[in-house]
Amino acid sequence: MHEAEFNAMGVRIERWPRSLTKAGQVLIEGGRLALLTSYGRVIDSAPVQAVRAERPWFAGSRSTVATVNGTRYRLTMDRAARARDGHRIDGTALAGRFLATVRRAGGSGG
């Protein structure tokens, strides 16, 4: 089993117009992106190459918008979000890491 390329916990995941979870998980592992609830249930999943991720002007510095299987999700990396090593990281830096990981994996980023 290999280590995740990106793993953030404590992420607010919204699908307009409602919040799906306030403490979800965003996981990129083995070339797939998975959005999970705080209980580990899969909200949505797709190959990273098929994911579009961007940081539009309205999202704020700690948020990104990811389109997974045609559905847009707003991912907010709050100050409480944690990286895979368990350390808390600034939400803006964590959102930037997410975008960079999607781009590196061949997904489209904006």
Average confidence score pLDDT of the chain: 87
In this prediction, residue 98 carries a pLDDT of 93
In this prediction, residue 61 carries a pLDDT of 87
Look up residue 74 and give its amino acid.
R
What CA–CA distance (Å, rounded) separates 104 from 109? 9
Enumerate domains of the chain plus CATH numbers: 6-109 (2.30.29.30)
Strand duo 32-36 + 42-47: pairing: antiparallel
Q: What is the pLDDT along the chain (110 residues), one digit of tens a residue?
A: 456 789 898 999 999 889 999 999 999 999 999 999 999 999 999 999 999 999 988 878 899 999 999 999 999 987 656 666 666 778 888 899 899 999 988 766 65
Cα distance between the two ends of the chain: 31
In this prediction, residue 89 carries a pLDDT of 76
